[in-house]
Structure 1
Amino acid sequence: MGNAKIEKVTEELITPILQNEGFELVDIEFKKEGPHRYLRVYIDKPGGITLDDCQKTSEQLSDKLDEVDPIEENYFLEISSPGLDRPLKKASDFDKFKGEIVEVKLYEPINNSKVFEGELLGLYENVIKLNIANVGLVEIPKEKVAITKLAIKF
């Protein structure tokens, strides 16, 4: 089974678990790192995810994965919060984090730059709109974007 299909099956299995707990699915990835494979599920909730939340979700999802058994090879299941530099994936993420400072990394440069940082104005018809200091409004087509994530300020 391909990675995308494994991620889709995992999403179908975990969605009712998360809805029951009041958690939000942020992302799912099935990756090979070195000799090992990892199924990572990133979850969130208002106020943040705790270690207990991750443990409870892991146990419930693990049981479901054992029943369905969609992954032939050995793998590690990891449940975690998206962290401070949370990636924005879904349209609802772009609404939820309007007004926040985000970092947008591109596959190919626009105006000789592959990284933009600014205030997120939103996602409109597959175009990310940012307000960048000393530049103003910048519009970036979503298909050119490798990742959009919350910027971390120290």
Structure 2
Amino acid sequence: MALQQIVEQTVTGLGYDLVEIERTAGGLLRITIDLPWQAPVEGAPVLPEQFVTVEDCEKVTRQLQFALEVDGIEYARLEISSPGIDRLLRHEQDFIRFNGALIDLTLKEPIGGAAGGQVNANRKKFRGTLERTDEGGWQIVWSDEPPVKPGVRVSKKREPAPLQALGFTLDELRDARLAPIVNFKGRAAKPV
């Protein structure tokens, strides 16, 4: 059986989602897992978001070590982890789950002068808010206004930079990740 199949069967059999498999030249086999996500049901109580714990990683590690040994898969070191703050977005369900979140997006090809000619035609990388379009597709909305530095006054008369939007399909993406924003003041409550 192939590595992808063994890992996927083991991880999903234990009740987790397989996010990513990475194999390095040094023999490291890195598996990223997450807890299954279900779209919120209207009218149902909103439960707090669950996160992968060390015990979850330990359980998957023990089971995978056994499964990989049985099938004779060679590796020097096995590492099981959670997706982290810069989680990779790959599947449609990931985009649905993180709709409205700040993401970093890299396209396979430059945009070629889209967005009304206001964006550099060679640009491939964007940071903005992920949004669903009315047609059911996806778009990223951003502003090229530089962030305000702490202690600097900003005139109330200053016009903010306009918001820009770029529609995309999942086939056009090279990479899409949650933007790694760290807030040491605690998690903000999600809007209901």
Report if TM-score (shorter chain) is over 0.5.
yes
* Larger Rg, first or second structure (1 or 2): 2
Alignment partners' CA distance in 2, 1:37 and 1:7: 16
Alpha carbons of structure 1 residues 129 and 135: separation in structure 2 relative to 1, 3 Å: same
Question: Could you say which residue in structure 1 is the equivalent of 2:31?
Answer: 41
Cα deviation, residue 31, structure 1: 2.8
Alpha carbons of structure 1 residues 125 and 86: separation in structure 2 relative to 1, 3 Å: farther
Work out whether residues 140 and 167 of structure 2, in 8 Å CA contact, stay in contact via their aligned partners in 1: yes
Cα deviation, residue 124, structure 1: 9.4
Structure 1 unmatched runs, 5+: none
Structure 2 unmatched runs, 5+: 36-48, 112-120, 144-161, 183-192
**Aligned partner of residue 108 in structure 2, secondary structure:** strand
Cα deviation, residue 102, structure 1: 0.6
CA RMSD of aligned residues (A): 2.5
Cα deviation, residue 92, structure 1: 0.7
More strand by share: 1
Instruction: Give the residue type in structure 2 aligned to 1:29.
Output: E
**Aligned partner of residue 64 in structure 2, secondary structure:** helix
Query: Does residue 1:146 correspond to 2:136, yes or no?
Result: no
Instruction: Give the residue type in structure 1 aligned to 2:179.
Output: A
Work out whether residues 103 and 150 of structure 1, in 8 Å CA contact, stay in contact via their aligned partners in 2: yes
- The size of the alignment, in residue pairs, is 142
Question: Could you say which residue in structure 2 is the equivalent of 1:15?
Answer: 12
Alignment partners' CA distance in 2, 1:114 and 1:126: 22
TM-score normalised by L of structure 2: 0.64
**Aligned partner of residue 113 in structure 1, secondary structure:** coil
Alignment partners' CA distance in 2, 1:123 and 1:104: 17
Alignment partners' CA distance in 1, 2:20 and 2:76: 18
The superposition leaves residues 67-120 of structure 1 with CA deviations (integer Å, 9 ceiling, x where unpaired) of 222x2x433211001110000111110100001011101233223211111111
Cα deviation, residue 47, structure 1: 2.6
Cα deviation, residue 48, structure 1: 1.7
The superposition leaves residues 2-55 of structure 1 with CA deviations (integer Å, 9 ceiling, x where unpaired) of xxx4223321232202x1xxx3322222232xxx12221111234322222211
TM-score normalised by L of structure 1: 0.78
Work out whether residues 39 and 78 of structure 1, in 8 Å CA contact, stay in contact via their aligned partners in 2: yes
Alpha carbons of structure 1 residues 68 and 13: separation in structure 2 relative to 1, 3 Å: farther
Choose from 165, 183, 187 the match for 1:137. 165
Equivalences for residues 1-154 of structure 1 within 5 A: 5-17=2-14, 19=15, 23-32=16-25, 36-45=26-35, 46-69=49-72, 71=73, 73-110=74-111, 111-122=121-132, 128-133=138-143, 134-154=162-182
**Aligned partner of residue 5 in structure 2, secondary structure:** helix
